[in-house]
Chains A and B, each alone.
Chain A
């Protein structure tokens, strides 16, 4: 545990020591900020229209029309940003040979992998924490559902975890960060669009695709509905890719 935290802390501080980390944070905040402001403006316009509608107000729901789309957009932004954050995790260490320090220290491979995972998740936690002021604005202006917001953040965290685990494994396969980025992003995109493929197919295929899609499993969570099967999906997804990374790092000793 101590070792995991030591590695995690180092990884986290590395983000703040490189332009990549700051760039990712600024871009993330800028894009989410734009979406947030646009959604709030749009929703307030719709609300105003509703208030004067002769046909009465149909179900306008802040959580469904504003909170859920906001987190949906955030998820897509994460899809683009997380691979850029994870590309260096192993690739850079291999390139600078710093990985040798980790491999020759009295720590287990599991601790190395988990440390890097936790470090990247720490940075994502910082990024997500930086969006909390949007929630503050929402509470000031309207009455969002705390439960929905909380489970949406859980969804973002789990989704990011899945992204990081994929990024970790692709980063362990190359010394080149750009290759790592492209590999990671490509893999995530593939898993992401399984959900689109679902609507284009029927029956058994559609069910399997829908079940495996990263995006589909997030939807209930952003509605405030926590399914054990969704949480289990993300956790098992993360575990599998962390395990694959572990095997890959172990393999460095045999290559």
Chain B
């Protein structure tokens, strides 16, 4: 009884010590509990050896027993050596990338970024355990950790650790990566390849934080609302994940766009912006900062028409899609699907591979050429669509048809971007608050910036809002102009705001559309989701005949040959 107890203790102690070694070296767990297990185990083991010493020395007397014990012991020892070897191998892992395109080999740039890391970064990978995304992300991070010990990867299964997932607002089922350095966060979704990851590290360590301001007070989508379908909170969370700071403001209250706003987003105003507010925005752009206007049809027409000052014509219309390939399954024609073919060539949309889904869209097109502006339409709907100007059908409930000469028919542009090359071209009127002078003096006419009165869809109401241009002698350069880009601001107008609302945000690449736009505006083009198609030329197609031959070779050929050889050998051997 006593011996059994002692031996049991010895066994337990041995196991505890092995477990401790595994936990301590292999998993680098150094919690007090683990160390405690190790200490208790050692004590038990020593106790066993001491109490059982007579028995042990007796056992080692005879040759056979000595040998048998020796064998058992040496196998146990070999097991220990095996574990130790694996622990060392895990610690000092080297890897070779045998793929021809060097898929798992980091570029020199990424290596230098990894080596240059000064502060520790925790990489939280929210993936389903065992998913291919998790695997390839782990491979990727291992490429970095080979060069730095500042990077810590922690893989989290959102299903198993819902609290953590909630803390980081994880919604994507395909995975989300959050890089954490102190208070700073960088967020990656959908695309976990080397380039975006390296850029995320760079952004994290460059302490520059961009401020994105959202106008409020005109029924815009709510920045704080990340629950209802109308809110834009979901989008804001993604932006914050990119190290952007979101800041709502009421322009009339501030008197001007705050100086720290690099980008102002007007997210679907339901009522008109006051004329002064529009002037504030124009000044903001003239000063070389940026503006994004998401404007829905039927509302805020005056504000929409005012965008003509940037060389854009926003139609008072509703784009309807008639091409079944681009119609949403079960949706009405006011849903607009954009895909690669819909997009023009521009950094914002170049890397859009999946679709974007918009709902109730108005047309946004390039107005007459204006010297000093570079205007580009970014996306068009399909040739079978048109922009219906007779909006009475909305209440009548009758599906209209395109009216030649009145409606824009086929390939309706609904997204356009303006680069201000010459800031003096931007007409900026009086921004003084009501009472201070709503009377708008006619601006000195800039011949280069006329608002084309012939534009058929411009709400005539916008025409009198001829802005007063305060001559901006020297453009005030607020944001640091980078990389020799032109000093003017950038303006993006999209004839829809629903796509950025919580309701549609998860569709296709809706969120990338706005994130890309912001990234482009603040000169972080490397942020733009680039789903580069590395090694995508891996298609394989067969003719029907080839298919049959493959089946014949694989299923009949080789096994048949083996069976034939087997028979031959059997017959030969039978007579021997």
Interface Cβ pair total, 8 Å cutoff: 212
Contacts of A60 in B (CB 8 A): 536, 538-539
Q: How far is the CA of A177 from the CA of B541 in the complex (A)?
A: 46
Contact string, A240-252, partner B, CB cutoff 8 A, digits 1/0?
1001100110110
CB distance from B534 to the nearest CB of A (A): 8
**Minimal Cβ-Cβ distance residue in B for A251:** B71
Q: How many chain A residues have a CB neighbour from B under 8 Å?
A: 79
Q: How far is the CA of A134 from the CA of B395 in the complex (A)?
A: 64
- Inter-chain contact A229/B89, CB cutoff 8 Å: yes
CB distance from B118 to the nearest CB of A (A): 28
Contact A228 to B93, CB < 8 A, known contacts A26-B563, A37-B550:
yes
- Inter-chain contact B93/A26, CB cutoff 8 Å: no
- B-contacting 9-mer, from A43-51, A86-94, A100-108: A43-51
Of the candidates B95, B538, B555, the one whose C-beta lies within 8 Å of that of A63 is B538
**SS of A interface (majority):** helix
Q: How far is the CA of A49 from the CA of B111 in the complex (A)?
A: 38
Q: How far is the CA of A161 from the CA of B375 in the complex (A)?
A: 65
Contacts of A232 in B (CB 8 A): 85-86, 89
Q: For residues 505 through 562 of chain B, which have their beta carbon under 8 Å from a beta carbon of chain A?
A: 531, 533-542, 546-547, 550-551, 553-555, 557-559, 562
Contacts of A138 in B (CB 8 A): 540
Of the candidates B27, B354, B540, B554, the one whose C-beta lies within 8 Å of that of A33 is B554
In the complex, whether B332 has a CB less than 8 A from a CB of chain A is no
- Inter-chain contact B559/A26, CB cutoff 8 Å: yes
- Inter-chain contact A240/B78, CB cutoff 8 Å: yes
- A-contacting 9-mer, from B48-56, B297-305, B447-455, B566-574: B566-574
In the complex, whether B468 has a CB less than 8 A from a CB of chain A is no
- Inter-chain contact A59/B533, CB cutoff 8 Å: yes
**Minimal Cβ-Cβ distance residue in B for A237:** B82
Of the candidates A48, A58, A137, the one whose C-beta lies within 8 Å of that of B541 is A48
Contact A22 to B569, CB < 8 A, known contacts A61-B535, A63-B535, A150-B98:
yes
Contact string, B1-43, partner A, CB cutoff 8 A, digits 1/0?
0000000000000000000001100110100000000000000
Contact A227 to B353, CB < 8 A, known contacts A34-B554, A51-B539, A142-B539:
no
- Inter-chain contact A204/B29, CB cutoff 8 Å: yes
- A-contacting 9-mer, from B99-107, B241-249, B279-287, B418-426: B99-107
Q: How far is the CA of A43 from the CA of B550 in the complex (A)?
A: 13
Q: For residues 22 through 50 of chain A, which have their beta carbon under 8 Å from a beta carbon of chain B?
A: 22-23, 25-27, 29-30, 32-34, 36-37, 40-41, 43-44, 47-48, 50
CB distance from B483 to the nearest CB of A (A): 30
Contacts of B565 in A (CB 8 A): 22
Contact string, A189-232, partner B, CB cutoff 8 A, digits 1/0?
00000000011001010011001000000011001111111001
In the complex, whether B68 has a CB less than 8 A from a CB of chain A is yes
Q: How far is the CA of A207 from the CA of B82 in the complex (A)?
A: 17
In the complex, whether A77 has a CB less than 8 A from a CB of chain B is no
Contact A29 to B99, CB < 8 A, known contacts A54-B339, A61-B538:
no
**SS of B interface (majority):** helix
- Inter-chain contact B536/A243, CB cutoff 8 Å: no
- Inter-chain contact A61/B553, CB cutoff 8 Å: no
Q: How far is the CA of A111 from the CA of B362 in the complex (A)?
A: 82
Q: How far is the CA of A148 from the CA of B99 in the complex (A)?
A: 6
- Inter-chain contact A137/B71, CB cutoff 8 Å: no
Q: How far is the CA of A163 from the CA of B312 in the complex (A)?
A: 70
In the complex, whether B135 has a CB less than 8 A from a CB of chain A is yes
Contacts of B480 in A (CB 8 A): none
Contacts of A22 in B (CB 8 A): 562-563, 565-566, 569-570
- Inter-chain contact B542/A33, CB cutoff 8 Å: no
- Inter-chain contact B68/A55, CB cutoff 8 Å: no
In the complex, whether B74 has a CB less than 8 A from a CB of chain A is yes
Q: For residues 321 through 349 of chain B, which have their beta carbon under 8 Å from a beta carbon of chain A?
A: 325, 339-341
Contacts of A57 in B (CB 8 A): 533, 536, 539
Contact A254 to B67, CB < 8 A, known contacts A51-B541, A199-B129, A233-B86:
yes
In the complex, whether A147 has a CB less than 8 A from a CB of chain B is yes
- Inter-chain contact B79/A240, CB cutoff 8 Å: yes
Contact A146 to B139, CB < 8 A, known contacts A33-B559, A37-B550, A233-B86:
no
Contacts of B341 in A (CB 8 A): 54
Contacts of B547 in A (CB 8 A): 40-41, 44
Of the candidates A50, A64, A141, the one whose C-beta lies within 8 Å of that of B542 is A141
In the complex, whether B94 has a CB less than 8 A from a CB of chain A is yes
Contact A143 to B553, CB < 8 A, known contacts A211-B26, A228-B93:
no
**Minimal Cβ-Cβ distance residue in A for B31:** A204
Q: How far is the CA of A50 from the CA of B89 in the complex (A)?
A: 42
**Minimal Cβ-Cβ distance residue in A for B85:** A236
The residue in B85, B531, B557 that gathers the most chain A C-beta atoms within 10 A of its C-beta is B85
Q: How far is the CA of A16 from the CA of B570 in the complex (A)?
A: 9
Contacts of B64 in A (CB 8 A): 254
- Inter-chain contact B97/A36, CB cutoff 8 Å: no
CB distance from B252 to the nearest CB of A (A): 44
Q: A-side interface residues toward B, CB under 8 Å? A: 16-17, 19, 22-23, 25-27, 29-30, 32-34, 36-37, 40-41, 43-44, 47-48, 50-51, 54-66, 130, 133-134, 137-138, 141-143, 145-148, 150-151, 198-199, 202, 204, 207-208, 211, 219-220, 223-229, 232-233, 236-237, 239-240, 243-244, 247-248, 250-251, 254
**What 5 A-B pairs come out closest when comparing CB atoms?**
A147-B98, A22-B566, A232-B89, A33-B554, A142-B540
User: Can you pick out 29 interface pairs between chain A and chain B where the beta carbons lie within 8 Å of each other?
Assistant: A19-B566, A29-B562, A33-B557, A33-B559, A36-B554, A37-B550, A40-B540, A40-B542, A41-B542, A133-B558, A141-B541, A145-B99, A198-B130, A199-B129, A211-B90, A225-B139, A226-B95, A227-B95, A228-B89, A228-B93, A228-B95, A229-B89, A232-B89, A236-B82, A236-B86, A243-B78, A244-B78, A248-B71, A250-B71
